[in-house]
Amino acid sequence: MCGIAGVLHCDPAHPVDPEVLVAMAAIQHHRGPDGFGWKTLDRGVGFAHARLAIIDLNAERARQPFISADGRFMITHNGEFYDYKRIRADLTSRGYAFKTKSDTELVLHLTHRWGLEAALPHLRGEFAFAVYDQQDERLTLVRDRFGIKPLYWTLTPEGLVFGSEIKVLFAHPAVQRRFSSQGLYHQLMQLMVPGTSAFAGIHAVQPGQMVIAERRDGQLRIRTQTYWDLNFPLLSERQSPRADEDYIEELRQRFVEAIQLKLEADVPVACYLSGGIDSCTILGVAAACQQSPIKAFTVGFEDADYDEAAISQEMARAVAAEQDIIRVDGTQLYDHFARTIWHTERSIYNTFTVAKLLLSQHVHDSGYRVVLTGEGSDELFAGYPQLRLDMIRHGMQDATPAERADLEAWLQESNRLFKGNLLASMPLDDPALTERIGFTPSCLQSWLSASAHVPKLLHPDHRAATQGYSPGAAVAATLDSNQLQGRHPLDKAQYVWIKTQFESQVLGWAGDRVDMANSMEARPPFLDHPLVEFAVTLPPLMRLRGRQDKYILRETMRSLLPKALYERQKFAFMAPPAHTNPEEQRAMRALADTYLSRQAVAEAGLLDHAAVQQLLQRHADEATPVAERVQLDAVVNHLLSVQILHEQYIHTNVPQQARQRATDLGWQVSEPVLAV
C-alpha cells in the first residue's frame, strides 16, 4: 500500500509546482516510508507517490508515477492487485513488455488493450489510483469496489487536487481548510453521508466509482460513474434454494482461494486475531496454506466484559500459531487519542480505534508490514446485531408475533453492552429512509437518535446553517433505489450498512487509516470480489438461522474451529466506554479540560460551550441511565474529535507543515523518477 497525490489544472499552460507535489507526498510519509516519486507533464498535470514496498522491493525499478511506453497514460497507484502473475503472463504472451515486477504496471497494459473502463473488471484487490490520458486530456480517479483504500478530491480556482488522505489535499496551498456546517453536524452524530467529509469542498470517491475530470474550454467538467455495485438478487430471481452442502462447498472453495491470493507478498504476512470466527477462520486457513507457524497479533483490554484475548488463545493453540498479545488500558487510549484523530481525519465514537492504532504499531515494530484481517465477514453473512434485528423485525414473514418478540428480547439482552451505541435505545423511524428502503435500518438508528443532541451543541452560526437539515434524507438520497427495490429486507439492511458505516467506519477510521498510520497493509480476504458476488446470492437462512449468526461460515469452518468458538455469538470489537472505568473517565476529562475549555471552544467557533458543559455533566452523572451514558460517551468522543481536528487541520498551517516534513525527510525536488 502507498499514498498518492496529484493536481490537474484547468489551464494546460499552467505548470504544476514540483515542490507542492513533494510536500503532498511527504505529509503522507506514514503511508509510504520506502521512498517517493513525482512527475509533471507539460499539460498542467502532476502526480506524486509515497511508496510502501510490498511487491517488487527494488526501490528504483518500482518508483511511481509510471508512464506508459507510448507516453499516453500516467498512473499513480495505492493498493494491491491479486492474481497479477497470471494476468501478467497472459499479457506477456500477447506481446506486452513489462519493465518492473510491480502489479501497478498491469493497469497501463490493460488500459492500452481494452481502455480503462473495460480493464476494471480484471482488477482484483483493494486499490485507489489515478490515470491521466494525455490524448483525451482526461483524469480518472478510481476506487476499489468496497472502499478499502481511501481517495479524496477537491476543486480549487486552479483546478482539481486529489490524494489518499485529506491532509494531502490540505498540503496544497490553494485548498481551503474549514469545516462545513453539515460536515460538522455529521461528525457529532457519527453518521457520514457517502461521498462527503467533515470539511467544506472535500469529497470522497465512493466505492466502485470513478470520478472523471475532462478539460473543456478552459474548464474542468466533473462526472462520476459507477463501474461495480453489490447486486443482491430480486426476490423474483431467487430460485428454490440449493442444498446447504452446495453453498458450503462453494464458500469453502472461494474462501481458500481468497486466502491464497492475499498471502502473496515479497515480505512476511501475519494475521490479526480476535475472539471472533472471522479472524479465527482466516488464521486457520492461512496456517494451512503456509504450512508453517503463522504470527497472530491480538489486542486485549483490562475489562473482562470487552476482552477477547482468552478466547482467541484457543484458536492460536489449535493451529499452533505464534500469538502475540498486547494489552491496552483506558489511560493509554486517551493518551493516544489526538494522534489517532490526526490519522482518521474524522470523529470516532469509541476508543477501540486507538487500540487498533496501538496494535498496528506493535505489529510494525515486530517486523511485519502485511496482515490478514477479518473485515467483511459480518457484512456478507449478517453478523452484526443491527442486521439480525432487521431480519427479526422485517424479514421473518413466517414467524408469529410471539416468536419475533422472543428473538428480539434475546438479541437485545445478549447485546446489552451495546445498547445506545450499536443498537438504538428505542426504535426510530426516519421518513426519507423508510420511503427509500421500506424501513429505517437498525444500523443507522442509534446514530440518527444521537442527532437529537447535535443542534444545541453547535455554535449558533452552524446551528442556523443546519436548521431543518435531515441527515437521514441526505443519506437516503445517495442510495441507489435500483439496488434496493424488490430485495429481501435482510439484503436491504446489508446493502445500506455496506454503503454507509462499513466504508466510512470499519474500512476507514477503524481500518486503513490506523493501520497505514504505522505503514501496515491490512488485507481483508472476505472482500475478494468473486467471493462477495457469491455471498450476495445466499438465501437469508444461510446467513441467519434461528439464533445463529453467520450460519454458513460457521458450518463451512466447523471442523477448523474449537467448539467454544463455533458456538460463540458475534461480539463486537469495542473498547470499554469511558464511564465504565474511573481512570479512563479521568483521562477523558483531562482531554476535555484542554480541548473543550471555554477558550478552546471560543477559538474554534464550532461548538456551544454551555451546551457542551451540560452534556459533560450529564455524562458524568452516575444517575444517568446506562444506555444514555453509552450514547453520551460516543458524543463526548465526537466533541473531542472535532476540536482536535480544528487544532490539527484548521489552526495549523498544513502546507508549511508538509514542506517542513519533506525537508526533514530529505525529499528533494531533484529526486530522480523512473517511468515505465
Residue 576 confidence (pLDDT)? 77
User: Coil, helix or strand for 504?
Assistant: helix
pLDDT given for residue 674 in this prediction? 47
Kindly report the pTM of this predicted structure. Answer: 0.95
User: What mean pLDDT comes out for the span 482-511?
Assistant: 94
pLDDT of residue 564: 81
On the question of pLDDT at 671 being above 90, the answer is no
Distance CA 265, CA 252 (A): 23
Express each pLDDT in 482-493 by its tens digit.
999 999 999 999
User: Residue by residue, what is the 3-state secondary structure of 412-426?
Assistant: HHHCHHHECCCECCC
Contacts of 443 (CB under 8 A, 6+ apart): 384, 386, 387, 390, 493, 496, 497, 500, 501
Is CATH 3.40.50.620 the classification given to domain 251-380+499-567?
A: yes
**pLDDT at position 570, please?**
65
| pLDDT of 672 | 45
3-state secondary structure of 352: helix
- The answer, yes or no, to whether residue 410 has pLDDT greater than 90, is no
Hey, what's the cell of 260? 491464497
* CA 443/CA 232 separation, integer angstroms: 18
> What is the rounded CA–CA span in Å between residue 414 and residue 94?
58
What integer best gives the mean pLDDT of the chain?
91
Taking phi over 0 as left and psi of -120 to 50 as alpha, with beta for the rest, 197 belongs to beta
pLDDT digits (tens, 9 = 90+) for 13-57: 999 999 999 999 999 999 999 989 999 998 999 999 999 887 666
Identity at 245, one-letter amino acid code: E
| Structure confidence at residue 315 (pLDDT) | 85
**Model confidence over 124-177: pLDDT tens digits?**
999 999 999 999 999 999 999 999 999 999 999 999 999 999 999 999 999 999
Percent of the chain with pLDDT over 70: 97
Distance from C-alpha of 207 to C-alpha of 224, rounded to nearest angstrom: 11
User: pLDDT of 236-254, one tens digit each?
Assistant: 888 778 999 999 999 999 9
Segment 60-81 mean pLDDT = 89
- Cα distance between residue 40 and residue 315, in whole Å: 51
pLDDT above 90: residue 422: no
- State mean pLDDT over 552-559: 93
224-237 average pLDDT score: 95
467 pLDDT exceeds 90? yes
How far from 276 is each of 259, 303, 366, 378, 484, CA to CA, in Å?
17, 17, 23, 10, 30
- Average of pLDDT values for 301-318? 82
Residue 439 confidence (pLDDT) above 90? yes
CATH of 2-228, one of 3.40.50.300, 3.60.20.10, 1.20.120.160, 3.20.20.10: 3.60.20.10
Mean pLDDT over 207-221 rounds to: 94
**CA 229, chain centre distance (Å):** 17
Give the pLDDT confidence score for residue 1 in this predicted structure: 67
- Would you say 262 and 55 are in contact if contact means Cβ atoms under 8 Å apart? no
Q: Is the pLDDT of residue 58 over 60?
A: no
Instruction: Give the span between the Cα atoms of 572 and 574, in whole angstroms.
Output: 6
Strands lying side by side in the sheet with 152-155? 36-41, 45-51, 2-9, 159-163, 152-155, 203-204
- Least confident piece of the model among 126-140, 216-230, 293-307, 462-476: 293-307
Percent of the chain scoring above 90 in pLDDT: 69
Nearest alpha carbon to residue 202 among 190, 218, 187: 187
pLDDT in tens, 266-293: 889 999 998 888 998 999 999 999 877 8
| 160 in Cβ contact with 203 (< 8 Å) | no
Is the pLDDT score of 214 beyond 80?
Answer: yes
Return the minimum-mean-pLDDT range out of 7-16, 334-343, 353-362, 559-568: 559-568
Q: Cite the DSSP H helix spans in 489-597.
A: 489-497, 513-516, 529-535, 540-543, 551-556, 563-567, 582-595
Q: For 585-639, what is each residue's pLDDT tens digit?
A: 899 999 999 999 999 999 999 999 999 999 999 998 889 988 888 888 989 999 9
Q: At what angle do helices 309-318 and 277-290 cross, to 10 degrees?
A: 30
The candidate with the shortest Cα–Cα distance to 452, out of 426, 433, 422, is 426
For the residues 93-97, what does the mean pLDDT come to?
88
Quote the pLDDT of residue 98: 85
